[in-house]
């Protein structure tokens, strides 16, 4: 499943990008909200969300019940086989996600991480594709790999007895990957099929936003269809099972599953639409217009004197310069606020400044996603903004960028024609 915008997700489950970091055995590293780091295939960190363990336990329990009917002689060992199936299934999900990741890296799109979580996986791709053709390929490779896996598991079934543990496992993996592929090909965001529909409409209309709107509303319609249709289909025995009576445990379980899937799809479609509209507003974020005017001061200048000069010049920021006028540091606004007024004549600005590091010099010409990417690469509270000639233009505060970003999110632009 995919999330139009910064994240791409798959497997009919979640949505498309967070930051990976890396005798007695040490515990797996965790990221806040990210889960457990399992490895870095192709240099991209793979996390397993804590919610995965809940789903793995559910799969183990449900598949174990199926095994009890097919292979009753297994006894309690059926749950060990079922756990193996759950792990193998999510390995298939990982392959699905890696397909998106490899395609993204091929198109020079940065991938922040892959996360395996409740109802599937997410490949967090940090930028949108530049053409509808690439968008279509990037979306299609995931379901394609799931179909390939399904075919490989089917071929494996030809070499084993059907009523054996390997036969049942291969059949289960064949069917589950086929379902993953089919579900993801449904034409609605945030699923892969929705991104493919977006690419087609984008190609026909020439407007990526038009494609997003069409695919997002298709996703919402799909969510309603899943919410209403799945319980009715299972109740009528339309999925190859015995018809269920209304109000039975199985029918209630199916209704709950349909509600969860519908909620995921509806939310993902809405997020895709919101992120696309935000991306239309991102060009309004301009380093030049957000920059505060600054005055240069020597490192030993008292804070009170530096603020007096700034007030006279109508500036709102201070830049520390050396004897040759070269900027060396930016005075932090938060540090200024923390100094009581009666102490400011005795405090030098050098004690409140942050030395300029690589990445803290920002071009005044940066806009939109390029500006955000630059700030994200070197986190700081203030940045020195310079002209192409190297001349000081001013100071860019992260707080100002955040406020402008929130304002852009709050605005709803007119719908495309």
Phi, psi dihedrals of residue 94, rounded to the nearest 5°: -60, -40
Q: Is the pLDDT of residue 18 over 70?
A: no
pLDDT given for residue 251 in this prediction: 64
Q: Determine the average pLDDT of the residues in 320-337.
A: 93
Q: Is the pLDDT of residue 74 over 50?
A: yes
Phi, psi dihedrals of residue 342, rounded to the nearest 5°: -70, -15
Of 307, 386, 398, nearest to 352 (Cα)? 307
pLDDT band with cut points at 50, 70 and 90 for residue 417: very low
pLDDT given for residue 14 in this prediction: 36
246-300 pLDDT tens trace = 445 456 767 787 888 888 888 888 888 887 777 777 777 899 999 999 999 999 9
Phi, psi dihedrals of residue 385, rounded to the nearest 5°: -100, 125
In this structure, is the dihedral angle defined by the CA atoms of residues 196, 201, 204 and 209, taken in order, positive or negative? negative
Distant-in-sequence, close-in-space partners of 390: CB < 8 Å, separation ≥ 6: none
Of 50, 2, 49, 40, nearest to 20 (Cα)? 40
Q: What is the pTM of this model?
A: 0.69
Q: Determine the average pLDDT of the residues in 334-345.
A: 93
pLDDT band with cut points at 50, 70 and 90 for residue 34: low
81-98 pLDDT tens trace = 999 999 999 999 999 999
pLDDT given for residue 297 in this prediction: 96
pLDDT given for residue 257 in this prediction: 78
| The pair of three-digit structure tokens given for residue 232, joined into one six-digit string | 């009715």
Q: Which residue has the higher pLDDT, 20 or 155?
A: 155
Q: Determine the average pLDDT of the residues in 151-176.
A: 93
pLDDT given for residue 184 in this prediction: 94
pLDDT given for residue 237 in this prediction: 55
pLDDT band with cut points at 50, 70 and 90 for residue 172: very high
């Amino acid at each position: 499943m995919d999330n139009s915008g910064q994240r791409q997700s798959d497997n009919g489950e979640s949505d498309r990008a967070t930051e990976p970091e890396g005798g007695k055995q040490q515990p797996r590293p965790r990221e806040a909200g990210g889960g457990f780091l399992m490895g870095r295939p192709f240099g991209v960190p793979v996390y397993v969300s804590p919610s995965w363990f809940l789903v793995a336990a559910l799969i183990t329990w449900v598949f174990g019940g199926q095994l009890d009917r097919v292979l009753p002689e297994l006894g309690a060992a059926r749950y060990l086989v079922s756990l193996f199936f759950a792990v193998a299934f999510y390995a298939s999900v990982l392959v699905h996600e890696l397909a998106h990741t490899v395609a993204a890296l091929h198109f020079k799109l940065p991938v922040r991480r892959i996360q395996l979580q409740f109802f599937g996986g997410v490949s967090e791709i940090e930028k949108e594709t530049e053409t509808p053709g690439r968008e279509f390929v990037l979306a299609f490779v995931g379901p394609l790999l799931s179909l390939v896996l399904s075919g490989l598991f089917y071929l494996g079934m030809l070499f084993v007895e059907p009523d054996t543990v390997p036969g049942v496992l291969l059949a289960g993996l064949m069917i589950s990957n086929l379902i993953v592929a089919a579900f993801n090909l449904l034409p609605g965001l945030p699923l892969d099929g929705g991104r493919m529909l977006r690419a087609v409409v984008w190609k026909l209309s020439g407007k990526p936003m038009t494609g997003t709107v069409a695919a997002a509303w298709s996703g919402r319609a799909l969510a309603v269809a899943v919410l209403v249709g799945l319980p009715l289909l299972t109740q009528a025995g339309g999925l190859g099972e015995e018809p269920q009576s209304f109000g039975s445990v199985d029918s209630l379980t199916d209704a709950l599953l349909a509600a969860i899937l519908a909620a995921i799809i509806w939310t993902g479609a809405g997020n895709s639409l919101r992120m696309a509209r935000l991306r239309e507003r991102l060009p309004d974020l301009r380093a030049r217009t957000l920059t505060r005017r600054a005055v240069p001061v020597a490192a030993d200048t008292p804070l009170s004197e530096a603020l007096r000069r700034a007030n006279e010049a109508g500036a709102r920021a201070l830049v520390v310069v050396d004897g040759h006028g070269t900027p060396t540091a930016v005075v932090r606004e938060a540090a200024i606020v923390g100094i009581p007024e009666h102490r400011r004549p005795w405090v030098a600005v050098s004690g409140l400044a942050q030395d300029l590091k690589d990445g803290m010099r920002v071009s005044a010409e940066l806009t939109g996603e390029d500006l955000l990417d630059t700030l994200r690469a070197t986190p700081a509270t203030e940045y020195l903004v310079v002209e192409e000639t190297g001349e000081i233009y001013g100071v860019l505060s992260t707080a100002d960028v955040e406020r402008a970003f929130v304002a852009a999110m709050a605005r709803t632009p007119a719908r495309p024609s």
